[in-house]
Structure 1
Amino acid sequence: MVGAVLTQNTAWTNVERALARLTGRIALTAEAILALDEADLADALRPSGYFNIKARRLRSFCEGFLAGGGLPGLAALDTAPLRRHLLAIPGVGPETADDMLLYAFARPVFVVDAYTRRVFTRLRLLRGDEGYETIRTAFETALGADVPLFNAYHALIVRHGKEVCRKHPRCDTCCLRGGCPAADEQDHALLTNARSRP
């Protein structure tokens, strides 16, 4: 859950470095995080970027976590009230809450991230301007309530988005190329450019 807060606007490798620094100073518990001076917490989180903001958000999360009864209290809640509780914590938005629900609480909630939007917009399965809840509901409806499937599917999307369907896509190596309109457009543009050269 701490990782879900820290991964906002940064790569996971930076989060791992921040977690290593943090766990080198304190135990990774809500109580220990709240007991740590905010400046020291921010310093520990420095590798994750936006470290002052993330220190405040992490403290808010820990307060909300404890107010909800910690892991036993929150885990006892049904998914909808648990999601509402998480979303009520300052700094926890839909993606962060759903990340926690899926990975920490094993709830069948699909996580929509920038990779999901990019890959499925290029495949023309999304327009690109849909709201978070619309996309999440579409995935959950299409895939059914299946936690292991959501875990695997989301991990594959993230991997594909990082390695192949990047901001500047590597369509020539893409396993989805045959059914991807964006790859066809890129091929057409490359062909047009090649023909226009003397």
Structure 2
Amino acid sequence: MRALYQHLAAAYGEQHWWPADTGFEVMVGAILTQNTAWTNVERALARLQARIRLSPEAVLGLAEPALAELIRPCGYYNLKARRLRGFCAALIEAGGEAALAAMPTEPLRRWLLGINGIGPETADDILLYAFERPVFVVDAYTRRLFRRLGTIDGDAGYEQIRQRVEAALGPDAACFNAYHALIVRHAKAVCRARKPACDLCALRRRCQQRGGD
């Protein structure tokens, strides 16, 4: 796990991820990016921020249809508007970001997972990027890369992968941040789902599935 991280870091350098100005913007982005590309989330966030100053109270101040229309570019906009409003209401009821920041990581993760529409990946995005907790995010890019390298079995579950990385690297939020960003960069640029650019891959000597699945 550490050698793979070092290879990717040498190939791509610092990624400066997650792209957001505030913790709450990270939380909103984590919900909006479900099942869509980040470029669509950026468009949705720009439309939303042109209308309101981003805060839980301001989001709840928008009627659900109006919110859905603003975030339309991110897809599934009616569902995501409902989820985002539910999250904002829960955040306010819990005492806001400061109250959540005071919680230990595991209780905070359980709190996030208890909110409708927040699954493990979204919860871990928020934990790592909004609260700087040492939690590794497992996404489709991670699964694809690790599977092709033979690092994980094809049927490995989310928690199994997450815990394996965390056990191998230790509780290091900065490392997990950089590692996830590097995996996303590599998977988008080289280790693509279709027509992977194996001849350009810095990891090609380690890969068990050159040429893709």
Calculate the TM-score normalised by the size of structure 1. Answer: 0.92
Q: Deviations over 1:132-182 (max 9, x none)?
A: 111100010011100110011010001011111111211111110011111
Query: Residue 178 of structure 1 aligns with which residue?
Result: 205
TM-superposed deviation, 1:2: 0.3
Q: Say which of 12, 25, 36 aligns to 2:51.
A: 25
Q: In the TM superposition, what are the counterparts of 1:99-138 in structure 2 within 5 Å?
A: 99-138=125-164
The list of structure 1 runs, each at least 4 consecutive aligned residues, that deviate by more than 4 angstroms after superposition, is: none
Name the count of aligned residue pairs.
Answer: 185
Q: Say which of 191, 200, 213 aligns to 1:165.
A: 191
2:173 is the alignment partner of 1:147: yes
For 1:128 and 1:100, the matched residues in 2 are separated by 26
Unaligned segments of structure 2, at least 5 residues: 1-26
2:34 is the alignment partner of 1:8: yes
Q: Deviations over 1:26-57 (max 9, x none)?
A: 11100010110100000000000110010011
2:76 is the alignment partner of 1:50: yes
Bigger relative CO (Cα 8 Å, ≥ 6 apart): 2
TM-superposed deviation, 1:129: 1.1
The 3-state SS of whatever aligns with 2:52 is: coil
Q: Percent identity?
A: 64
TM-superposed deviation, 1:121: 0.2
* Higher Rg of the two aligned structures: 1
Unaligned segments of structure 1, at least 5 residues: 188-198
Q: Deviations over 1:64-84 (max 9, x none)?
A: 111211101100100010001
Query: Residue 98 of structure 2 aligns with which residue?
Result: 72
TM-superposed deviation, 1:130: 1.1
Task: Identify, as 1 or 2, the structure richer in helix.
Answer: 1
